[in-house]
Structure 1
Amino acid sequence: MREKPDEKWREVTVADIKAYIGFQIVMGVIIAPRLDDYFSTDEMFGICGIKHRINRDRFDKINQYFHAADTSMNPHRGDAGHDKIAHVRPVLEKVRTSLSSAYRPHRESAIDEAMVAYTGRLSIKQYVPMKPTKRGIKVWVRADPHNGFINDFQVYLGKENNTGEYGLGERVVLDLTRDILNRGHHIYMDNFFTSVKLFEKLEENDTYTCGTVRAQRQGVPPQIRNANIKNQGESVIMQKRNMVALTWKDKRPVNLLSTNTDPRRQTTVLRRQKDGSRIDVPCPEVVKNYTKFMNGVDRADQLRALYSCGRKASKWWKYLFWFLVDISIVCGYILMKESPDHQRKSRNGRQKQLSMVDYRKSLAKQLIGIYMVRNKRKAMKENTSYADGSNCWVADMGKKRRCEHCKPRGIRREPRFGCEACGVNLCVECFKPYHLERFPDRYTR
């Protein structure tokens, strides 16, 4: 049976979608307990200016019918070729390829898992008890430990036919590093991924690795597996060509495998004792390097959690979509910070850093722009002269943009001034002809 069309629905434009995403970014910066609070007219508890740009009905309809992909051609569940994340696949691939090509990574990279929080029913939902976010969608991530930039990622789609994938960790690492093989990069990972076979395969491709390793993994020397170290700071090291296996006693034994560190290099770490004193404990350099460079994904998660624009939704794929938006914003912020063309200075000539919240505010303003969908009755009550041009005056628009009268004539001018009522930038000499064309009945009487 064909459903009756929604009488309140109106077609959306590119400006509608850009403004909708901009409003979501604003909601991440200014957090309200309920969505209704963003449209409240209460003078005391009015949250922000969203209600002045869009009415609640229009926002609800865009939110209700918002989709990121056409899934009509996706095969049914259980059929060959079915894509479990077809709802966001086009956006996901666009974000992934853009991040891979937009930034040249440092020599060191870290591979770990990130979690997109979700507690509803979903076949790809995972439970990871050791993570702060224990239930949700698991995403394998390769990130830059120097700044948290996400170089590549892959959504874990769970088991196929209730059968686990053999060699999952090895396959994930090879997938995420395919763009940087044979370039001398150093990859850091935890014991879920680390194996002797994987490290040998990466070394053959001029890619060097370091990671904690489970003592029972195939290929780990029995001297490491059965080591009995009693004193803090002691270690047992075994080497096979360029591969080093070691166990080091901190508060508990730590097992590592490495192909990028000289085992003879030793350093120290500061440790607090039971009596409150601090001492320097001998430590192999590989342990210190692992601690230093394994935090890339955690650093990216910290930046992503700042002012996240995701909100509670009834559809699981929206959580993944807003995850993609958040990592795009984070990586854009990192690119801006490192770009020599976007450095800001104070009046004293000192370098001035733009914070994440300032970046998100600026981005939201650019996406929303002059977008405005207001209640028709309220707009007519406030000002009935906007429609006939009687309230058009020269005003400072706050930013240089192309002149709306020169643009269709192929002339590029970017004045700062324009007409506030019409919401356009205009040259001084274009102000009159523009309004003569737009309101011929009023100005030709």
Structure 2
Amino acid sequence: MGTQSAMEVFDAIEDEDAVVDKIFIAPPVVSFESDEDTGEEDCGGMFNNLSGRQLSAPAVVVLTDGRVIGDDDDGDTEEEEEPQQASTSKKRSQKDALDYNWTNSKTRLTKFPDARPLAVPTILTIKYAAVTDSNFQLTIGELKRVVGILLLSDYHQLPSRRHYWNTDEDLHCALVAGAMSRNRLEEIIRYIHCADNTRQNSSNRMTKLRPMMDILNARFGEAYPMDCNLDLDEPVRFGYKAWCLNSGTNGFLLHFDIYQGASVDASEVECKFGKGGGTLLRLLDNLPDAVRALPLRIYIDNYFTGLPLVAELRRRGYACTGTIQENRIPRSCPITDQKAMKRKPRGAVSVVYDTANKIALTRWKDNAVVTIASTLAAEHPLQKVSRWSRQEKKKVAVDQPFVVQLYNRSMGGTDRADQSIELYRINMRRKKWWWPIFTWMLDAGHGRLQCMGAAPAG
């Protein structure tokens, strides 16, 4: 299936008898002209008010029944099919060039290497400039007040930003009105830019926000609490999609990037490990030395997991645990077939080891069959979990592999961060296509503080 534009995808939705679960839209092609569109500024950014450039950008729609409309790279999206439901008749991946040595022996998995010495983090500074209007001047203090007003709209929400200056008792906000006039806020928001328009990289659709993204990623890396557990996921449910590396313990956002659509000229690492695997390795390469020196334990879902990627992470000194699709398991692997596992009682476990690459594949029968690839753990020590038995009409204890418990414990970091952002999301909109990403980045920094237990900004 070729890449489809947002307009084509939205037209296709009208012909589908299904409910939309998620919509992802890629940033538009870089333009050196204005990003503004006609229409009321305060009502931009909604689904039915997208610009022409946004409607021509690639888009993907995921329906609640699992169907996907539009192109999502190599088609191995997590929404297309859960790993326990994947068909064994699917074509096996041609990217897998590993040599395997499978065994059922309960050999111990590899140990982690010692961490390298910590490096001193780099201190960066931020410089703001406005060059559109020769008469326009801006101070750091004013910019901070603008950011403060945006963050205030997280939880003090009004129908539009002009209402904060309304003199009616039920609308007026003295805190905002006393900090800045409405006209001054509108002027600053109109001219605010994160990059020099004369020095844009036309091959990078995020060039307008890249300087701010780099600064935030550097700050996140400096403040990271050095948790060894990381999970990678996609938190944006509607609109643009972000790849986020978060602490699996408290949800702290460590590093992120924005999905830009299918790559026309895929890099060598993407050709070898796929779009998801290539993205993960690129994010890891961009981490500060102090974080990369940690014995990281990385948790991923079946969009990313492939045995070559798991082996590559182990080669780099990291452990990896992730659910894996059936079509990414080599035919030579002697793990119990999914159909045979479905006939077994709940709690049944099948484990095989690849001693050549130190990978354990653990298949477990719960309500459905789940398969996890890991260089960290397998079934032992077996845990007991409570499940409702329809036959016995009561809850019963069933066996659960330790790797499943480990995965469930550490895979929710991105979801936790996303929940923190959703609690207090900036409520002031604009018609610039990059504005929702800009405000999401401010919210991400704010949500990071909430993950650390801090109170929301007041």
User: Shorter-chain TM-score: what band?
Assistant: 0.5 to 0.7
Matches within 5 A, 1:39-438: 39-75=165-201, 77=202, 82-115=203-236, 133=237, 135-161=238-264, 166=271, 167-178=274-285, 179=287, 180-181=291-292, 183-219=294-330, 221-229=333-341, 230=343, 231-241=345-355, 242-274=358-390, 277-334=394-451, 337=453, 354-355=454-455, 357=456, 360-361=457-458
Q: CA deviation at 1:301?
A: 0.6
Q: CA deviation at 1:276?
A: 5.8
Tell me the residue number matched to 2:57.
none
Task: Give me the whole-angstrom Cα distance separating, in 1, the residues matched to 2:393 and 2:221.
Answer: 47
Q: CA deviation at 1:232?
A: 1.2
- Partner SS state of residue 154, structure 2: helix
- Partner SS state of residue 58, structure 1: helix
Distance change >3 Å, CA 43–CA 7, structure 1 → 2: farther
Distance change >3 Å, CA 224–CA 183, structure 1 → 2: farther
- Partner SS state of residue 238, structure 1: strand
Which letter does structure 2 place at the counterpart of 1:177?
L
Task: Give me the whole-angstrom Cα distance separating, in 2, the residues matched to 1:194 and 1:310.
Answer: 36
Task: Give me the whole-angstrom Cα distance separating, in 1, the residues matched to 2:170 and 2:239.
Answer: 37
Query: Contact 2:160–2:428 (CA<8 Å) still a contact in 1?
Result: no
Task: Give me the whole-angstrom Cα distance separating, in 1, the residues matched to 2:183 and 2:447.
Answer: 31
Mapped pair 1:12 → 2:138: yes
Query: Contact 1:109–1:185 (CA<8 Å) still a contact in 2?
Result: yes
- Partner SS state of residue 197, structure 1: helix
Tell me the residue number matched to 1:420.
none
Task: Give me the whole-angstrom Cα distance separating, in 2, the residues matched to 1:277 and 1:9.
Answer: 74
- Partner SS state of residue 29, structure 1: coil
Query: Contact 2:378–2:401 (CA<8 Å) still a contact in 1?
Result: no
Structure number with greater CO (CA < 8 Å, separation at least 6) is 2
Tell me the residue number matched to 2:14.
none
Task: Give me the whole-angstrom Cα distance separating, in 2, the residues matched to 1:156 and 1:64.
Answer: 26
Distance change >3 Å, CA 160–CA 285, structure 1 → 2: closer
Structure 2 stretches lacking a partner, 5+ long: 1-33, 35-130
- Partner SS state of residue 72, structure 1: helix
Tell me the residue number matched to 2:164.
38
- Cα-to-partner distance string for 1:126-172 (whole Å, 9 max, x where unaligned): xxxxxxx2x32211111002111011112222123498953112212
Query: Contact 1:27–1:309 (CA<8 Å) still a contact in 2?
Result: yes
Q: CA deviation at 1:264?
A: 3.0
- Partner SS state of residue 398, structure 2: strand
Distance change >3 Å, CA 233–CA 59, structure 1 → 2: same
Structure 1 stretches lacking a partner, 5+ long: 116-132, 338-353, 362-445
CA RMSD of aligned residues (A): 2.7
Q: Which has the larger radius of gyration?
A: 1
Which letter does structure 2 place at the counterpart of 1:213?
I
Task: Give me the whole-angstrom Cα distance separating, in 1, the residues matched to 2:336 and 2:279.
Answer: 26
Q: CA deviation at 1:256?
A: 0.9
Task: Give me the whole-angstrom Cα distance separating, in 1, the residues matched to 2:369 and 2:377.
Answer: 19
- Partner SS state of residue 328, structure 2: coil
- Cα-to-partner distance string for 1:356-385 (whole Å, 9 max, x where unaligned): x3xx11xxxxxxxxxxxxxxxxxxxxxxxx
Task: Give me the whole-angstrom Cα distance separating, in 1, the residues matched to 2:448 and 2:178.
Answer: 30
Which runs of 4 or more aligned residues in structure 1 lie more than 6 Å from their structure 2 counterparts after TM superposition?
A: 5-9
Tell me the residue number matched to 1:406.
none
Q: CA deviation at 1:222?
A: 4.7
Task: Give me the whole-angstrom Cα distance separating, in 1, the residues matched to 2:134 and 2:175.
Answer: 23
Which letter does structure 2 place at the counterpart of 1:298?
D
